[in-house]
Amino acid sequence: MRVAVIDREKCKPDKCNTECISFCPMVRTRREAIRLDPDGIHISEFICSGCGICIRKCPYDALRIVNLPDELKSEHLHRYGYNQFTLYRLPVPRKGAVVGLLGRNAIGKSTLLNILAGNLTPNLGKFAEPPTRDEVVESYAGKPMHDYFESLYSGERKVVYKPQYVDRIPRVVKGTVAEVLEAQDERGALKEITAALEIETILDRELSILSGGELQRVAIAAAVLKDAEVYLLDEPSSHLDIYQRIRAARVIRGLVKDGRRVVVAEHDLAVLDYLSDDIFLLYGDPNVYGIVSNVHGVREGINIYIKGYISDENVRFRESPIIFHVKPPTPHSGRSRPLISWTDIEKTLGSFTLNVGAGEIGIGEVIGILGKNGIGKTTFIKILAGVEEPDSGSVIGGDIKVSYKPQYLTGTIQGTVEEVLRRAAGEKYLEAWFSAEVIEPLHVKRMLDRDVSVLSGGELQRVAIAECLSRQADIYLLDEPSAYLDVEERLAVARAIRRITKMNGVTAFVVEHDIVAQDFISDKLMVFTGEAGIEGRGENPLKLEDGMNQFLEEMGITFRRDGETKRPRVNKDDSRLDREQKRAGRYYYVR
């Protein structure tokens, strides 16, 4: 079924002559497909034929045509209201396994977790007259989820839920980390879990002063310390560096040893691959509808997502597959002329000291920066950007222009999205290539008339990246560009950075914790080591293969290439391939 969908933020019925209504053929032939009410224009998907006339007439680009599923009514799970987001099907938690949920932002993952947790009772699409819990249980008679809902609603099944937005926790929970975790420790594993997540040093701190990464680890600890049958974790890797992500993943995987069920929604493909036994994909149209796929094995499920085609359902949800390196990129000898170099750099900030060895970068290269949180990666980027001055050493680059996207974006840009990009791009804004290389790949076209103050975290991130890449510069500096982005958006950003860098013969430095995105984007790597908050050391950029091998050896994990999609995959701890690669000293993938 094809229908028009309205963007209520763009629709301005009080400022136009509502030609979308005047020209709608369904208004005349049947009852109204489009109607006005106090909340704005609504479109009835039950009447709209999806002819597209209203879209051509709308002066504010507020309407678009989408395809809605018309064969899944018997699997309708939840609908938020009239012309609001709707969700089909439900993933099935499996005993003794980690089930992963993979899909775009605003496609229904958090809704599913809240339904599985019992925080939200599914209305089966009947939002006007929602069913009772008993009716929900009855609707699943003879299906795998019948017993799950029956025991959940009766209180016999204990479920633990870790929410997505951990920054909101201090608003409702008070006390020190130790006080909070001791109150949750039903398994008697407090000492073991705090050591595994490396939060022993913050036990005496108040929750209100913790960073995002510290809050995330405390939230994971609080969840896994409870004694439950089912654990639901929403984006457990956000705010964490790669080292912390792997440690958290090991803790979460440890839950299944006793036959517990775990469901995880995650955007980091490497972490999801490492964590999961099964994968459910979510596809559809963000903020319009979402569909849960059939279950797949972890390798098959992620590969399906990479290719964008679900063969067992004959559904294509992306026009083209995502292409990874077949082998590590080798710098071309013709690009050996350095664009920027630096001598040995030292910078002291309070009790923290950063030392970066001398190095240089050629034109047309993307330099990835890897390392733990709190060891100077952002400080080094700020020194290159001229925001910070080193105590000793210098950056040598002559008269070069730098474009910098900081890690934290609040208050850094103002105005509408279009105003922000016009200021940054200048005359380029009207050129066709700018739309093709920046606006379209980063999916900011539909946000152009919105003020940045009302954007979500992911939307603001994409606008900040677009602003950075819009400026005329010799060096682009991007600090954690994948934060708040889903898998599609992360790889689209990586592709855009790489294309613009190569096309314009410029250089980019990218601080990134998503190792799949870093592998996708980088030609070389700078590896930062040290002790968080005390000392950081940055080394001269290495070839991607050498840099990855050095970093992964420090972390104690090994990667391989998937034979089908060429994406990096984390080897399970102590697996045959993990042992073989460690013995050979090849922690990065084997060609």
| CATH code (residue 406) | 3.40.50.300
Q: Helix, strand or coil for residue 388?
A: coil
CA 447/CA 462 separation, integer angstroms: 10
In 3-state terms, what secondary structure has residue 41? strand
* 561 lies in the same domain as 448: no
Asked if residues 528 and 369 have their Cβ atoms less than 8 Å apart, the reply is yes
- My answer on whether 483 and 586 are in the same domain is no
Query: Given this model, what pLDDT does residue 334 score?
Result: 45
pLDDT of residue 333: 46
Residues 495, 562, single domain; the answer is no
Quick one: 521 and 561 in the same domain? no
Q: Is residue 340 part of a domain?
A: yes
Among 47, 67, 87, the domain boundary falls at 67
CA 55: distance to chain centroid?
A: 31
**Is 232 a domain residue?**
no
* The predicted structure's pLDDT at residue 429: 92
Same domain? For 355 and 446 the reply is yes
**CATH number of 15's domain:** 3.30.70.20
Instruction: Among 36, 67, 98, give the residue marking a domain's end.
Output: 67
Tally of CA atoms within 13 A in the half-sphere of 482 that contains its CB: 29
Q: Do 484 and 337 share a structural domain?
A: yes
Give residue 574's domain range: 556-591
Residue 11 lies in a domain: yes
Q: Is residue 268 situated within a structural domain?
A: no
Q: What is the pLDDT of residue 172?
A: 87
pLDDT greater than 70 at residue 463: yes
Average pLDDT over residues 314-319: 88
- 374 & 464 share domain: yes
Query: From the centroid of its chain, how far is CA 35?
Result: 36
Average pLDDT over residues 506-535: 90
Predicted local confidence at residue 71, as pLDDT: 61
Determine contact, residues 452/484, Cβ cutoff 8 Å: no
- Domain presence at residue 54: yes
What angle (nearest 5°) sits at the alpha carbon of residue 529, between those of residues 528 and 532?
110
Is pLDDT above 90 for 160? Answer: yes
Distance CA 322, CA 331 (A): 22
Q: Which of 67, 96, 123 is the last residue of a domain?
A: 67
- Does 356 map to a domain? yes
For 140-145, what is the mean pLDDT?
92
Do 585 and 534 fall within a single domain?
no
Residue 69 banded pLDDT, cuts 50, 70, 90: low
Count of domains observed in the chain:
3
Q: In the structure, what pLDDT confidence band is assigned to residue 306 with cuts at 50, 70 and 90?
A: very high
573 and 506 co-located in one domain: no
CB atoms within 10 A of CB 15: 9
Q: Is residue 30 in some structural domain?
A: yes
DSSP-assigned beta bridge partners for residue 42: 35
pTM of the model: 0.84
399 and 497 in a single domain? The answer is: yes
Model confidence pLDDT, tens digit, residues 168-223: 888 888 999 999 999 999 999 999 999 999 999 899 999 988 888 899 999 999 99
Query: Is 508 a residue whose pLDDT tops 90?
Result: yes
- Same domain, yes or no, for 584 and 486? no
- Rounded mean pLDDT of the chain? 88
The H or E element spanning position 65 is strand 63-67
423-433 average pLDDT score: 90
In a domain, 420, yes or no: yes
Q: Are residues 581 and 467 in the same domain?
A: no
Q: Is the pLDDT of residue 151 over 80?
A: yes
